[in-house]
Amino acid sequence: METKDTPLPSGTEVVILSLLVCAAGESYGLNLVKRSDGRLKRGTVYVTLGRMEDKGFVSSRSDPAPDARLTGARRLYRITALGQRALAARQLATAHLAEGFVR
């Protein structure tokens, strides 16, 4: 696996990427916060998601559900191929680090 040029995500970003991988589709911020067991905060999750979108780790779209017509539409987030590579690279780096400590 090529990890050389893949940017490594931060701890919070890893949590979000892992949850999006588990979601196997799209998810919105509050859903991610509820599933994170307190690792994500309501006040910061959308800032982090916005930053991750700028980096290309996630993509988002407006929810076209008819229920959303009364307010601004919710944004649904999906992990991108770059996000998957970044997550894999981070997990690989963590594994190597752990291996180094064991030795």
Partner 1 sequence: MTKTNGTAHVSIRYDYDNYDVRRDESVQLSAVSSSGSSFTGDLTVRRSDGEHVAIEMKRLDRLVHSGERGKAEAVLKRFELEQRYGFTGTGAAIDMDDEKVPAKSAPSRIVVAPGTALLKTLPYLCSKQVIERVFAQSIDDMREEYYDALAQDRNFLAWCVLARFWLGLFNTFVLQAGVSVAKKIHAIWKLGGS
- Look up residue 37 and give its DSSP letter: T
List 11, 25, 38, 43, residue binding partner 1 (CB under 8 A): 43
List 35, 55, 75, 85, residue binding partner 1 (CB under 8 A): 75
Chain centroid, CA 78 distance in Å: 8
Which CB sits closer to partner 1, 4 or 69? 69
User: CA end-to-end span of the chain, whole Å?
Assistant: 23
Q: What sign for the dihedral angle of Cα 81, 87, 91, 97?
A: positive
Backbone angles phi, psi at 61, to 5 degrees: -150, 160
Q: Tell me the closest approach of the beta carbon of residue 10 to partner 1, in angstroms.
A: 12
55 counts as binding partner 1 under rule CB under 8 A: no
**Type of residue at 3:** T
Which CB sits closer to partner 1, 6 or 48? 48
Binding positions for partner 1, rule: CB under 8 A = 28-30, 33, 41-44, 46-47, 49-51, 53, 60, 65, 67-72, 74-75
